[in-house]
Structure 1
Amino acid sequence: MKPILSNLCILNCFLVLLFSSNANPVSEKNDSIKVGVAKVCITPEVPIQMSGYESRTEPFKGVHDDLFASASVFSDGINKAVLISVDVIGFSNSFYEETVSRINNKTGIKKEAILLSAVHTHGGPVSKSYETNVSPAIEKYVNELQDKIVNVVIEASGKIQPVKIGTGKGICNMNINRRARFADGSIWLGRNPDGICDHEVSVVRIDDLENNPIAVLVNWPCHGTVGGQENYYITGDWPGSTARYIEKELGDNVIVQVTAGASGDINPIYGPNDKFDDIEAIGMLLGEEAVIITEKIKTATSGGINTINKVITAEGKKRLASRQPNQKLEPGTDRNINLSVIKIGDLVFAGISGEVMNEIGLKIKVDSPFENTIVVTHCNGNSGYLCTDEAYPLGGYEVMVTQTMPGTELLITDNLQKMIESVKN
């Protein structure tokens, strides 16, 4: 049986086909843009507890691949902005607030111009995202992590140079909608080939003035869950293997930043398991597509930087007792959601502080007046799962654990649409 796609999915497929072969320079409007990039290893030095699976309670046993934090600092001569990517599961709101305050004090970059994003690997250490009452060893690591994030932004700021920027899009089908319907009618974590799934790969290429790439930014919507609860070895999961593949292909002097698109209901095709070959396979396939896109991109000097940040408040909901459909929703504590928009020329980053269902991300991109709109999630704090209104009566894991009521979807999309419109000029 052929899957029946919604109008939104059909529109998404059309847009991807339209732009997958296109590689566009970010238009030149004002003065030339400058960028500095840097990265630092953040692998814990001693075994501590890992994040991502409640059943995994022991410290990690070893390191399969190192974890990194990277930063790209943009400047138009007047305004600055920074995109930070970190190989951890996420950040608490307090960690975010402390970190951006320190970055602002050290670099002068305004809070609304900072995107602090996590790749959402489930193979990393506890990073104070969802956990409380952590051990002294974990507290020490979290403090060191914050120091390294601040310092990598300072380092990138010191490396600012004139650059040319371009964008491109492609497709990687190694992700799948995970809201699978079971025999009892309930929805649980599985594979749903008929479900809407955003496969778009967005790439930003940053060259020096001699047309040599110095950084590549890759965005793809997928959970970092190839590695499962059986795995006790540190890994960046598919984001880490993707970055390694691209850096190997383009040269060690190129820094690759990976960010997670809207993927609250999207998992990788492989996993969750403890097979690192699967992690490397997805990294290779996504990396190959990103390299192909990168090589087609034509770069040009970019226009100015505009930024805006807004905290919205969604009606709170208590956690449900099960994943079953049509459950009564009990009011809970209202939940803040941090929304951020950074425009660099005709390129827009839209940041959201949560695990956003992919239909919400698709709507943001379709409605944006900017062709090059990249949705970055797990960004600037933690608001938990953020679901579509359509998902609530169907139940499922995401609906069970979300802390916001129906209406959150429209609250996010309407506010981001207005924010993106406001940075047009």
Structure 2
Amino acid sequence: MNYPTTKNVRALLKSTAALGIGLMATFTPLPSIAQSFKAAVGKVDITPDSPQQLLGYGARKSTGVNDKIYHRIVVMDDGKTRFVLVSSDICLIAPSEYDQVAARLKKELGIERENFWWSFTHTHSAPELGPPGLPEAFLGERYKHQYDKKYAEETETKLVSAVKDAIKRLEPARLSVGWGHSNANINRRARDAQGKTYLGLNPDLPVDRRIGMLRIDKSDNSAMAIIANYAMHGTVIGGECTLISGDGPGIVSEYVEKKTGATMLFINGAAGNIAPIYSTQPTPFRLKEFEPLLGDRILEANARMTSSDAIVSIKTGGTIVETPRREGLKWPGYMADYTGTNTAGTQVVKLPVRFLKINKDIAIWSAPLELFCEISNEVRERSPFPYTFYYGYTNGWLGYMMTDEEIPYGGYETTVTPFKPGAGKDLINGVLGYIEGAMSAR
């Protein structure tokens, strides 16, 4: 609705007086709608200047750089809630590393933990960041070395500084939402005739090819940020290559940024059983093919989002989903906050799940998991919100979470999970319970 301006009202009063038309003695003030939604972005280079241990595949050290890696940051503020989303070109981190940075943001900037989401693209060609976390419980031989504390401290400080700078540059903004589709991924649970499962490509098993899109525009309608949520392992490049790279997610982000001028955050989805269609290549040669395969599909989805809102409401929340812990797992002591014993005396994993509600139609949930896509697909299908996105690899890593149907087939994922059968159902119930309850009521 277009409300009359003060000038127009005065003209109306003058004209009616000239015509002898009487006006009511009392006048109701016109409503005033002040835009309160603001946003800002940041992008900072975190490419190390010295060789680093790479995380992903076996233990190996970098010998050079194929493409630079970054923190990409969006800060959103609706006047009541300030929310920070970071996408980093890193494979994964321990939840304790997230805790450390979250504590700094709270102390230095007053950002509440529930309002800081740190997501990882899951590139397998990036340096380690901080202590190994839960992987040392599964792959102890992989972590004989000490992690690089200097690189970790520098990378943490770059993140905090970039958030500080973005907050200083908050400006009026608008928000759009939409869906896209790309065939750049495939289920990676390959099977032989006897049912043995191993890492490969399997077009007959479930996949999630939707792209969940958010775009933030400046007040002049130019694009500020594109947030693209897509499920795909960062494994286009294989373990033979020792060059640092953002892999598929990083290459696609750079491509979209060059085409649009916006900062693009690639947020991985439920990629636990999903690979890129060209996977574990011995060289970076095929990375460029993901520019049209995924990058152009993001650009197409972006072009279809023709409407945007200047009035934006942000609400955050969280819950802990407890599910039984696998026996015989040597849990790292510095991650004690993420395990415990329930009232029945059962050892459990304490899984932190975060929620973000934007206006009345967008529900985003995140977890520190490599989640099988069937689980997030079911949440999306049953959610009352038309736009329901899952942000994976967020705020740490607590292993793979499989479906009960896939566990009997074995495979790599069964060796790197702290969960027992039934965990997927526990997560679905916990997430939908929150979405249908607290989230829908607010």
TM-score, normalising length: structure 1: 0.86
Can you list the C-alpha shifts for 1:16-62, whole angstroms capped at 9, x where unaligned?
Answer: xxxxxxxxxxxxx99642111111111111101101012xx332010
CA distance in 2, matches of 1:30, 1:382: 41
Q: Within the alignment, does 1:152 sit opposite 2:162 as a pair? A: yes
Can you list the C-alpha shifts for 1:330-366, whole angstroms capped at 9, x where unaligned?
Answer: x995322120001122322210111000001111211
1:274, distance to aligned residue in structure 2 (A)? 2.6
Can you list the C-alpha shifts for 1:173-225, whole angstroms capped at 9, x where unaligned?
Answer: 11101111123321111111110100111111110111100111111001100
User: Which residue type is aligned with residue 93 of structure 1?
Assistant: P
Question: Which fold has the larger relative contact order, with Cα–Cα distance below 8 Å and residues 6 or more apart in sequence?
Answer: 1
The match for 1:53 among 34, 48, 57 is 57
Judge conservation of contact 2:52–2:127 (CA < 8 Å) in 1.
yes
Give unpaired runs (5+ residues) of structure 1: 1-28, 321-330
**Which residue is equivalent to 2:192?**
182
**Which residue is equivalent to 2:418?**
403
User: Which residue type is aligned with residue 356 of structure 2?
Assistant: I
Deviates more, 1:123-132 or 1:188-197: 123-132
CA distance in 1, matches of 2:328, 2:181: 35
Residue 58 and residue 387 in structure 1: after superposition, are their counterparts in 2 closer, same or farther (change >3 A)? closer
Judge conservation of contact 2:175–2:312 (CA < 8 Å) in 1.
no
Residue 393 and residue 216 in structure 1: after superposition, are their counterparts in 2 closer, same or farther (change >3 A)? same
**Which residue is equivalent to 1:196?**
206
CA distance in 2, matches of 1:136, 1:275: 28
Judge conservation of contact 2:43–2:71 (CA < 8 Å) in 1.
yes
CA distance in 2, matches of 1:200, 1:79: 28
The match for 2:323 among 311, 314, 320 is 314
1:134, distance to aligned residue in structure 2 (A)? 7.1
Can you list the C-alpha shifts for 1:135-177, whole angstroms capped at 9, x where unaligned?
Answer: 5671211111111122222122122111111012121111101
CA distance in 1, matches of 2:300, 2:411: 37
**Which residue is equivalent to 2:336?**
none
Pairing of 1:81-230 with structure 2 (within 5 A): 81-127=83-129, 128-129=131-132, 130=135, 138-230=148-240
Can you list the C-alpha shifts for 1:249-295, whole angstroms capped at 9, x where unaligned?
Answer: 112xx111011010100001102013323112113321101111111
CA distance in 2, matches of 1:229, 1:332: 38
The match for 1:280 among 288, 295, 320 is 288
CA distance in 2, matches of 1:226, 1:41: 22
The match for 1:336 among 339, 345, 350 is 350
Judge conservation of contact 2:128–2:147 (CA < 8 Å) in 1.
no
Residue 403 and residue 257 in structure 1: after superposition, are their counterparts in 2 closer, same or farther (change >3 A)? same
CA distance in 1, matches of 2:323, 2:214: 32
CA distance in 2, matches of 1:30, 1:386: 45
CA distance in 2, matches of 1:396, 1:59: 27
**Which residue is equivalent to 1:248?**
258
Pairing of 1:15-94 with structure 2 (within 5 A): 32-54=36-58, 57-94=59-96
**Which residue is equivalent to 1:6?**
none
User: Which residue type is aligned with residue 343 of structure 1?
Assistant: K
User: Which residue type is aligned with residue 201 of structure 1?
Assistant: I
Give SS of 1:398's match: helix
Deviates more, 1:338-347 or 1:86-95: 338-347
1:399, distance to aligned residue in structure 2 (A)? 2.0
**Which residue is equivalent to 1:13?**
none
Aligned length: 383
CA distance in 1, matches of 2:188, 2:423: 21
Give SS of 1:36's match: strand
CA distance in 1, matches of 2:245, 2:346: 35
1:401, distance to aligned residue in structure 2 (A)? 2.2
Residue 136 and residue 188 in structure 1: after superposition, are their counterparts in 2 closer, same or farther (change >3 A)? closer
TM-score, normalising length: structure 2: 0.83
Q: Within the alignment, does 1:235 sit opposite 2:257 as a pair? A: no
Judge conservation of contact 1:180–1:189 (CA < 8 Å) in 2.
yes
Give unpaired runs (5+ residues) of structure 2: 1-32, 330-344
User: Which residue type is aligned with residue 300 of structure 1?
Assistant: D
CA distance in 1, matches of 2:34, 2:428: 29
**Which residue is equivalent to 1:304?**
313
User: Which residue type is aligned with residue 160 of structure 2?
Assistant: V
Judge conservation of contact 1:48–1:137 (CA < 8 Å) in 2.
no
**Which residue is equivalent to 1:293?**
301
Judge conservation of contact 2:38–2:170 (CA < 8 Å) in 1.
yes
